[in-house]
Amino acid sequence: MRNKKILIFILCLLVLLFIISITIGTTHSDDQTFQEPDWLSSLGNLMAKPQPLQLADLKPSTASCLQQGKLVVPAGTTCIFAIQQSSFTQRVISLRLIQGTSARLILTNQEGIPPMQQTLPDTGAQTNTDLNIYPGKEYGQLSIQCLNPEGASACLLAPK
């Protein structure tokens, strides 16, 4: 019986101390805000910033479509590249047309995102060719169609 009284007394004392500490905490004005360390914010920015897609992440359906670090698409044809999955939250593929009159890029199989399409004009024009690639359960697919007339030179694309 005596042990129960001591236990009840200790519990009441703890509740009383808790109430007092909450009261003191709410009346105390603390104007300081939490300053996150620089290394933490730079690490977060690194993970949230879109990462560039590497050519090694592209697997062409035809080996001739990827030659010496460049994407080669014969005139009037289409090359299809499977995009490897990544743990990054977002990746960006940036290409520029270095040979040929124009090429059409189509990014498909993005989970929940409609296909993205962009046409690249010849090298004289400045065009934003950044296509965002989001992670998903499915692999992405990049199709590049060379819009040069048949018999003309192949379209040659390289990363920016």
**Which pLDDT tens digit goes with each residue over 29-48?**
555 666 666 665 665 665 56
Task: Judge whether 111 and 141 are in contact, CB under 8 Å.
Answer: no
Residues of the chain with pLDDT under 50: 126, 137
- pLDDT at position 3 is 82
Q: For domain 51-159, which architecture applies?
A: Sandwich (2.60)
- pLDDT at position 112 is 65
- pLDDT at position 126 is 46
d(CA 134, CA 160): 19
Q: How many Cβ atoms sit within 10 Å of the Cβ of residue 74?
A: 17
- pLDDT at position 79 is 93
So where are the chain's domains? 51-159
Strand, helix or coil for residue 50? coil
